[in-house]
Amino acid sequence: MTNGPLQLTLREWRQHLLHPLTLTAQAGVTAVLALVGPFGTLLSLSLPERAAYWGLLVVAGYVVGYAISYALLRNSTDSFARIMRVCIAGVLTGIAMSTLVILLNAVVFGLRPTLPDLPISVGTTVAISMIVMAVIDLFNRHLSVAPTPPPARDEVPPLLDRLPFDKRGALVALSVEDHYVRVRTTNGEDMLLMRLADAIREVGTTPGTQVHRSHWAAFDQIAKVTKHNDRATLTMKTGLDVPVSRSNLPKLKEAGLLP
């Protein structure tokens, strides 16, 4: 199984974009726009056509906005830098969505914006996108699940001292990515320039084991074990999937995770 940075990022995106809450929210917004029919679509399109038109814009807008916000806002903690990144994310999303709206209107309605109208149209879309980016940022920072308190000081694994304070929590998994180790906790994740063997030595008393040449997993964070012939996959409580190689299956049996 390939677990490079790109594959792990795509997996995280897929889990978010296909989450039931995400799909429900998009369906709800699409339904409202299809019924209300803003910007003249109520008279020019039938209900199924409006549902398809607004559904495409809602899904495309969310995917583009999420991708840009993920790239720009994910690791930003400084307030001023975060505000600047929200603005940049809004501008980039607005430009992308303006292009899509122009192309879609040309196909559906045969409309092409005149040169004098173009700045107003793009400016409006950019302004809306900046507001949406700000709302997404506030939602991610203030309406997320409350972080797990870090362990007592005398039980803190040395590895956690290497992480930003807001990312410290119960260890979930360690994964090798090039020359780095991605450390995942119940409060987030961060990349450390070190070897996996050195990182494992710093997990302290955390119960767990190396399950693959590129992965370590904490036993108390495993939600499900799925066997695949001579290999297995650990599904962690955070939703992360960790591969288990054939040579490491006996470790799961010793831990009572496999019959």
H/E stretch holding 62:
helix 47-73
Residue 101 token pair: 């709206």
Identify the three-state secondary structure at position 100: helix
Q: Identify the residue with better confidence: 216 or 132.
A: 216
By C-alpha distance, which of 237, 198, 231 is closest to 218?
237
Enter the DSSP assignment of 148: P
Least confident of 112-116, 139-143, 197-201: 139-143
Mean pLDDT of 206-220: 94
pLDDT of residue 146: 46
Mean pLDDT of 93-116: 82
pLDDT of residue 1: 42
Predicted confidence (pLDDT) at residue 131 exceeds the cutoff of 60: yes
Q: What pTM was estimated for this model as a whole?
A: 0.49
| Inter-CA distances, 138 with 123, 185, 204, Å | 23, 22, 35
pLDDT of residue 152: 55
Residue type, 30: T
Strand ranges (E), the chain? 171-177, 180-185, 188-193, 208-212, 215-218, 222-228, 231-236, 241-244
Q: Cα separation of 15 and 239, whole Å?
A: 8
Predicted confidence (pLDDT) at residue 155 exceeds the cutoff of 70: no
Taken in order of first residue, the domains within the chain and their CATH numbers are 5-142 (no CATH), 153-254 (2.40.50.1020)
Mean pLDDT of 196-213: 92
Q: Give the confidence band of 15 by pLDDT, cuts at 50, 70, 90.
A: confident
For 21-35, write each residue's pLDDT tens digit: 778 878 888 898 889
Q: Give the confidence band of 162 by pLDDT, cuts at 50, 70, 90.
A: very high
Q: Cα separation of 172 and 168, whole Å?
A: 11
Least confident of 2-11, 131-140, 191-200, 225-234: 2-11
Q: Give the confidence band of 2 by pLDDT, cuts at 50, 70, 90.
A: very low
